[in-house]
Structures are given as structure tokens and as C-alpha cells.
């Protein structure tokens, strides 16, 4: 992207962030006890995943190239590519709902535990260097640039660098910025989501009469939050978008918001809760890319 365009997009970031205040009434209906009609049902909360996960559009460790997975308005006039690991995949329900409402076409490129970063990383699942992640990222860059979407959204969880010298915030941010710089379409970077101190469904099962015990102090939920992304966005000249205030809506961060269970484990959101973020996601996209709203 030309430098002027990157700076213009980056300048819009603060306008977008300003619109992410906690929505009025977000805590309505939340109290001390687990609501009888909580959604998803507590028994299935740990399995409340997004469609791409169920439909084979989230790649696991050994896959090196993406499938062609298209969602939203498949003949839509505006195309958004979603590039990231499971921490972007779990936001898919919000993007899908926004896409259907606004006529957007979604291309998804999700791979578990694979950060979009130009650095050698380790897989805790494979117990070795995650060479498949590097191959995947190369394939995704080629696929996205060939598709030429109107907008690319990137997000990721942990960057486990193989080389200890590459584990500093500055080095990891630079690695992300280098990958962002290889994308030819306008791009935004999402800050990672808050996390929970407990496995939420498990905690709720043991604390139905006082779900406050399953909340997480905001300082802990946001420890180290957005440091890498903020530095990477500045280096790459792209906007940083942060949904934290819509996920952690109070201090401590509640485990249930608006009658919906927030997390399906300690750091992945339930698909049911994520759908409630759709209006904010739509405003976010349109604020950064006004053409998406036309």
C-alpha cells in the first residue's frame, strides 16, 4: 500500500477506537446467579465454535496451504479477507453477521496456532519448529494478493519465536509488520482479545449461584494487551482496532454478558457471544473503509 494511503488509514484508527465504548445496557440481565436461559447452554458452551471450524475452513497443524472458503454475501461487491489464527477465527460469527447485513464477501484464511509473522515459530502441538506455519503464511500472502480484496483484517494470539533473541516485544512487532507490509490491499490489525483466569464453562458449572467467582480482574485479563499489535501497526502504518471494551465490559470482566457466556475456555470466545459484536464490527469496518458502507 502506498505510504500516503497507509497514513490516511492509520489516521482513521483513532476515530474507530473512539466508537468502541461499552454499549449501553450491555450488562442488562446479568446478576449473581447463572441465568436459567443462558446462551449457549452451559452443557454445550465448550463446543460453541464458529462455522469455519466445523466446516474444515480452520487449518490444523499439518496443513500448509488454504482451502477456498467463501462466506457472507458470496457475490458481494465488497470483499474482506480474514487472515489469522483461532483468535480471528472465533470472531468469525461477528464478521459473518456484519457481512450478510452489508453485502460483504468474506474470504477466510485461518490456521491454528499460526501467527501472521515473519519469524520462525514453535508449535506446542508438534513439539518442534512450526515449518508448516511459515509455508502457510507464504501461501496466504500469495492467495490474498492474487484475490486483491478491498480490505484485509489480521489478528493473532501468541508468537512463540524459536530464537530467544526474537521474543522481545519489539522483535515480534517487527516480524508482524514485515508480513503486513507484503499485503497489497488496505489492511487493519486487530488487538488480541482479553483472556480469562479460569476455564469459564467449567467454573460456571461449579458456581451457578454466584458466577462472579468466574470473573477476571481487568488488569489480569488485559495484561500485556495490544503491546505487540500497537507497535506493529505503527511500524506498518496500518490502523489498530481494539474490541477489548466490548468483551470485558466491566471490572472485573464478567463471564456472562447480556445472558451470554463469553468464553468457551480460557481465551476463545463462544460463537454465541461473538455474534453480539457484529454491529460494532460493522461500524469498525465502515469507519476504516467507507466504501464498505455504500
In a domain, 183, yes or no: yes
In a domain, 63, yes or no: yes
Q: What are the pLDDT digits (tens) for 83-127?
A: 999 999 999 999 999 999 999 999 999 999 999 999 999 999 999
In a domain, 69, yes or no: yes
In a domain, 182, yes or no: yes
In this prediction, residues 20-31 reach a mean pLDDT of 49
Buried b (16+ CB within 10 A) or exposed e, 209-219: eebeebbbebe
Q: What is the mean pLDDT of the chain?
A: 91
Q: Is the pTM of this model over 0.85?
A: yes
Query: Is residue 270 within 8 Å of 261, Cβ to Cβ?
Result: yes
- Please name which of 225, 101, 208, 120 lies closest in space to residue 164, comparing C-alpha atoms: 120
Tell me the CATH number at 67. Answer: 3.40.50
Query: By CB neighbour count within 10 A (0-12 exposed, 13-18 middle, 19+ buried), where does 254 fall?
Result: buried
In a domain, 159, yes or no: yes
Q: What are the pLDDT digits (tens) for 210-263?
A: 999 999 999 999 998 999 999 999 999 999 999 999 999 999 999 999 999 999
Query: Is residue 80 within 8 Å of 106, Cβ to Cβ?
Result: yes
* Total domains, the chain: 1
In a domain, 222, yes or no: no
In a domain, 145, yes or no: yes
Domain that holds residue 68: 3-25+50-194+227-246+274-285
In a domain, 167, yes or no: yes
Amino acid at each position: 500500500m502506498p505510504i500516503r494511503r497507509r497514513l490516511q488509514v492509520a489516521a482513521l484508527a483513532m476515530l474507530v477506537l473512539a466508537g468502541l465504548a461499552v454499549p449501553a445496557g450491555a450488562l442488562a440481565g446479568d446478576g449473581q446467579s447463572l441465568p436459567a436461559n443462558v446462551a449457549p447452554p452451559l452443557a454445550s458452551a465448550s463446543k460453541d465454535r464458529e462455522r469455519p471450524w466445523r466446516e474444515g475452513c480452520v487449518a490444523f497443524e499439518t496443513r500448509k496451504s488454504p482451502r477456498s472458503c467463501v462466506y457472507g454475501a458470496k457475490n458481494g461487491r465488497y470483499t474482506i479477507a480474514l487472515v489469522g489464527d483461532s483468535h480471528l477465527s472465533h470472531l468469525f460469527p461477528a464478521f459473518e453477521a456484519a457481512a450478510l447485513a452489508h453485502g460483504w464477501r468474506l474470504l477466510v484464511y485461518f490456521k491454528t496456532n499460526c501467527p501472521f509473522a515473519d519469524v520462525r515459530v514453535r508449535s506446542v502441538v508438534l513439539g518442534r519448529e512450526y515449518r508448516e506455519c511459515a509455508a502457510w503464511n507464504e501461501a496466504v500472502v500469495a492467495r490474498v494478493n492474487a484475490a486483491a480484496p478491498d480490505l484485509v483484517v489480521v489478528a493473532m494470539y501468541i508468537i512463540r519465536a524459536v530464537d530467544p533473541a526474537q521474543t522481545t516485544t519489539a522483535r515480534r512487532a517487527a516480524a508482524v509488520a514485515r508480513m503486513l507490509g507484503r499485503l497489497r490491499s488496505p489492511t487493519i490489525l486487530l488487538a488480541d482479545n482479553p483472556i480469562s483466569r479460569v476455564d469459564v464453562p467449567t467454573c460456571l458449572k461449579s458456581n451457578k449461584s454466584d458466577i462472579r467467582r468466574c470473573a477476571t480482574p481487568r488488569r489480569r485479563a488485559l495484561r500485556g494487551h495490544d503491546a505487540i499489535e500497537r507497535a506493529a501497526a505503527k511500524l506498518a502504518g496500518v490502523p489498530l482496532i481494539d474490541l477489548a471494551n466490548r468483551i470485558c465490559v466491566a471490572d472485573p470482566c464478567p463471564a456472562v454478558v447480556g445472558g451470554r457466556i463469553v468464553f468457551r475456555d480460557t481465551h476463545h470466545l463462544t460463537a454465541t457471544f461473538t455474534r453480539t459484536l457484529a454491529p460494532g464490527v460493522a461500524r469498525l469496518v465502515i469507519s476504516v473503509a467507507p466504501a464498505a458502507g455504500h
